[in-house]
Amino acid sequence: MTQQHGLIAYFVRHPVAANLLMLLIVCMGVLSYQSIQRQTFPVSDNHKVTIQATQLGASVKEVEENILLKIEQALKPQIGIKRVLSSATPSQAKVEVELNSGENIAARLDEIKLKLDSIASFPTAMEPLLIFENAQQQRAISIVVSGLSDPLLLKKLGNEIKTELLQLKDISHVNLSAMPNYEVSIEISPIKLREFSLSLSQVVQAIQSHSDNLSAGHIKTSNGNIYLRLEERRYHGDDLLNLPVVSGLLGETIRLKDIATIKDGFTETLDEGRLNGERAVYIMVDASKEQSLTHVVTTAQAYLNEKRRSLPSEIELYEFVDVTFYLEGRLNMMLENLAQGAILVFILLAVFLRTRLAVWVMIGLPVSMLGAFWLMPWLGITINLVSLFAFIMVLGIVVDDAIVIGESVCDQVESHGHNNEQVILGTHKVAMPATFGVLTTIAIFMPFMLSTGPNSGQFIAIAGVCILCLLFSLVESKLILPAHLAHTRMPSLPNSHWRVRFNNRLQHLLNSRFKPVLKSCIHHRYAVILAFVSLLIVTVCLIVTGLVRFVAVPKVPHDFPSINIQMNQNVSEAQTLAAVKEIEAMIQRVERDTIAQTNQPMMRTMYTRIDHLTEAEIVVPLVAEADRPFDTFELARRWQAELPNIPGVKKFTIESDVIDIAEKGDLEYRLFADDIQTLQRASQDFIAQLTQIKGVHSVYSSMDSAQTEYKVKLKPIAYQLQLDAKTVTEQVAAKFYGLELQRVMREGQEVIFMVRGARTDRENISALAQTLITLPNGEQVFFGDIANTIEAPSVAKIDREQGFQVVTISANVDAQQAQLSTVSNKIEADILPAVTSRYTGVTTQLGSTLLDQRNERSQMLTFALVGLLVIYLLLALPLKSYVQPLIVMSVIPFSVIGALWGHFLFGYTLSIMSVFGIVAAAGVVINDSLVMTDVINRNRAKGVALNDAVVQASISRFRAILLTSLTTFFGLVPIMFESSLQAQFVIPTAISLSFSVLFATVVTLIMVPCLYAVLEDVKRLHLPLMRKFKIQNA
């Protein structure tokens, strides 16, 4: 016998090399597993840059004209920008620049900064621009500090904790919220100003002349330079009390305390937090994309335990949200399912294969997985729910080629004796189809490594893990497994052994049952193919009729749901507080009803955060999942049913989903126009038509309800008194908003000093007429004497995109009443064209969420087509045919039958993750078909008749095909029946893959032989035609 050469032969003859290779993979995998980052979900790349600008006291229109338009103009020629979204609110401008995927964010950020730095016409009163990258972060732990009634002391403690946390090694992102900024407010009534003939600007000048740090240069002495410095800056409100404001000719002095009330506290904004009704400050500790959640949380918890010892007992540091509390449970759930799936796979292997062979095949499983752990950090993949699911998904796949190799080696050894050469020959016999089978599976996953959509993190995690596992399974099955099998003796079994009886019984069933059925199918091959095609058409009708619905993203229940409250811009502080308290009372009422009905609580606590008057959030951490009487979605439905109708509320958003798109809605459309009034009328028309569609609810518009503004018009007498619009406006703004005196750093925090009118004189419109206006000669008159005010409607917010004003309209669709695709088709076909035809200059576009989802589906289709093309090329090489690869690939469309019926039986809706499972199955289901076709070809090469060659191939490969399919299916069974709510995100992928592979087994064993026979029919018809064509040409 000729001695075999090559890598396989080398490792068979040198088992030490095989064992060392296996040991290297295992050790590196274990080491990598210990250090790899842990996250709840993979973080997708965020290609966004945010620009923020502040012009205190500016109206919405001023912010748009003076800031937004100039920024948009500067960014217009910028390369690499996908779209520019901007918004203007009173005093604030925000621009979000979305870059094309693949762009170098750091380089683009520098270019944007250079462009904006070149704008010289920004308002002088505008504060410096804030330009930063939207870094993707995940919440690690949230801390609520309570127990102090004094808000100043509470914020001081919060800042102290924030500073100390940031000094720790593993923590780099800490934010403090629900507390206003520091401010020293110097308030002067108009009576005092009139009494001493003062204006607010004169008071500012007087204070500034006594509160500053100045350098007086230096004196050169023989001993060196001596620097001179005057330090008179005041850092606290009390330091200002005795500063002189007015000095008389006789030495009398009017001090600031004589005319003003000084408040050293916070800005006049409604920013506060409450834990169960008690004043609290909220500290958020986040982990960046490069950090491990567990490391961040462990470090923070160690600090909190130490900090508690130094604080009084009445002060509580409450770990409000600890993500690792839920993360560890979810990761353990995935690991348990992985272990259960592995056990099921081993049981199957032990039934169909010799126990020793099953053990060696199973060893390939941890070797492949540890190899994947070794290289995962190189691909930027972390340990999270999705990547762990990928290991479950690939559980039965990675042993497929090991099963094929092991079975082939055993057959060769049993027929020709046990020695190294027979093991090498047995491996070589199936090495080519087994290798190409793995490569075709890799080919279907490979394009997904280039994913760029909102779910790209999930797709990259699954594809990366599967590719790594499959690559290492090739190494294990071709190099390590044959070396182990070469040194494993398998004694012959007596006829009474259960395995012999099982094999004999299986062979009898194949000969007596399966073989006649297969022959009949081949004989009636066209009818069989027609039956499969008919079944495919019926299956597609499941989607058309709505029996299997489609949603873009499967919902994953949140462990700490929240209610976001968005108020209209023109509401008062009292209205916002009343709305928040009413929602808090509703949540408590629902909790009491839940306990009364189930004797179990649903929530652990409740935290309320109010931001800047118009926004509030109520977060409710829930009890452990196993202790909940129902899921988060049911809680959200109960909240929704109890939501009160509160005046001034613009929008309620209940966030009950981890991957929440509720804020944007199931449907989202944008309307563009140059004119705000036209845009407002068009949006109202669109909303009116939306609300008439059955099943559509929670319709929301980004445009605020109209609010009132007063336009000032000077009287002729004002000009006679040498007043102008700028002078009058500045003095009115000084009273109602204030004049900035100075900014100082105090205990690491910036404190702004403001001089303004007394608060009681700023709280009603009647005070405007009583505002004192100082004339150029120093005399004073009332505003009402020199100006008129005209009431006019205005907007509280302006949104812009790509240079146009835009309104975003969103809505949700009740899946029980209407199908999302049907509703969206009706809107895009009928309603939107009608709106644009009625309002000149109005254009429409899909909202960013829906647009991203459609782009993602289109990208997935492209990736699938690329993968299928690569698969065809990989199949054409070993089969040496242009047509046979199509027979092998025919199982792919028919495997969809299994996926759709699996969703129907389990009651799941199709989603992006389901489609990904179907695409992934495309690379798996062809493996058996490839091996089957290869065996048929070898039988035909030996001169075996067509029908006999097909039947023999089906019989000989039946056990291997059935076993590889069952290992994939049963490896996924535990996760499909997982009751954990967080597993709902990945279960659709498991259903698609498992049922696709299961049904593809039937297709491979029945339809592929029929298609092969049809191919021979075509050849027989083709040859006479070719001969006739040649004769005619001759």
% of the chain residues with pLDDT over 70:
95
**Do 570 and 578 meet the contact criterion of CB atoms below 8 Å apart?**
no
Average pLDDT, the chain: 84
CB hemisphere CA count around 613 (13 angstroms): 12
Directed axis angle between helix 323-352 and helix 355-375, to 10°?
A: 150
Confidence (pLDDT) at 512: 86
DSSP string, 145-198: EE--S-HHHHHHHHHHHHHHHHTSTT--EEEEES-PPEEEEEEE-HHHHHHTT-
How are beta strands 696-701 and 804-813 bridged, if at all?
antiparallel
198 has a pLDDT exceeding 80? yes
287 has a pLDDT exceeding 60? yes
Confidence (pLDDT) at 895: 87
Number of helices and strands (H, E) in the chain?
36, 30
Burial 779-796 (b: 16+ CB within 10 A, else e): eebebeebbeeeeeebbb
d(CA 182, CA 753): 9
d(CA 611, CA 145): 17
Topology (CATH) of 1-35+371-491 = Multidrug efflux transporter AcrB transmembrane fold (1.20.1640)
User: How large is the average pLDDT for residues 432-446?
Assistant: 84
Find tokens 């407002």 and name the residue.
680
Q: What is the pLDDT of residues 818-839, one digit of tens each?
A: 777 788 888 888 888 888 888 8
How are beta strands 749-757 and 739-746 bridged, if at all?
antiparallel
Q: What is the dihedral of CA 268, 271, 275, 281, to 10 degrees?
A: -90
CATH number of 193-217+707-746+755-794: 3.30.2090.10
- Candidates 428, 517, 353, 523; CA nearest to 954 is 517
CATH number of 518-556+876-1034: 1.20.1640.10
Q: Which two tokens stand for residue 28?
A: 């590196």
Alpha carbon separation from 491 to 356, 410, 494, 500 (Å, rounded): 11, 11, 10, 13
Q: Quick one: 692 exposed, middle or buried, by C-beta within 10 A (0-12, 13-18, 19+)?
A: exposed
pLDDT band with cut points at 50, 70 and 90 for residue 1030: very low
39: phi then psi, degrees, rounded to nearest 5? -140, 160
- Candidates 908, 694, 937; CA nearest to 820 is 694
1029 has a pLDDT exceeding 50? no
| 501 C-beta neighbours (distance < 10 Å), count | 12
Q: Provide the residue ranges of all domains of the chain, joining segments of one domain with +.
A: 1-35+371-491, 47-134, 193-217+707-746+755-794, 518-556+876-1034, 558-657
What secondary structure letter does DSSP report for 794?
E
User: How large is the average pLDDT for residues 640-647?
Assistant: 86
d(CA 296, CA 284): 12
What secondary structure letter does DSSP report for 379?
G
Q: Which two tokens stand for residue 602?
A: 């649903």
CATH class of 558-657: alpha beta
Q: What is the pLDDT of residues 502-556, one digit of tens each?
A: 878 888 888 888 889 888 998 898 999 999 999 999 998 888 887 887 776 667 7
967 has a pLDDT exceeding 60? yes
146: phi then psi, degrees, rounded to nearest 5? -140, 175
**Do 719 and 727 meet the contact criterion of CB atoms below 8 Å apart?**
no
**Do 241 and 255 meet the contact criterion of CB atoms below 8 Å apart?**
yes
The second-level CATH assignment, the architecture, of 47-134 is 2-Layer Sandwich (3.30)
639 has a pLDDT exceeding 80? yes
d(CA 963, CA 404): 10
Q: What is the pLDDT of residues 239-272, one digit of tens each?
A: 999 999 888 766 678 899 999 999 999 888 888 8
**Do 659 and 849 meet the contact criterion of CB atoms below 8 Å apart?**
no
Phi-psi category of residue 188: left, alpha or beta, with phi > 0 → left and psi -120 to 50 → alpha:
beta
User: pTM, whole model, 2 decimals?
Assistant: 0.74
N residues, the chain: 1034
325 has a pLDDT exceeding 80? no
- Candidates 955, 952, 949; CA nearest to 937 is 949
Q: Do domains 47-134 and 558-657 have the same CATH topology?
A: yes
Q: What is the pLDDT of residues 224-235, one digit of tens each?
A: 888 888 888 899
- The continuous run of DSSP H or E covering 768 comes out as helix 766-769
d(CA 127, CA 268): 19
Q: What is the pLDDT of residues 672-730, one digit of tens each?
A: 888 778 888 888 888 888 888 888 877 878 776 656 778 888 999 988 899 888 889 88
For CA atoms 135, 137, 141, 142, give the dihedral sign: positive
Burial 944-955 (b: 16+ CB within 10 A, else e): bebeebbbbbbb
- Candidates 382, 514, 315; CA nearest to 1009 is 514
User: How large is the average pLDDT for residues 600-613?
Assistant: 87
For CA atoms 954, 955, 960, 966, give the dihedral sign: positive
User: How large is the average pLDDT for residues 777-804?
Assistant: 84
- 3-state DSSP call for residue 838? helix
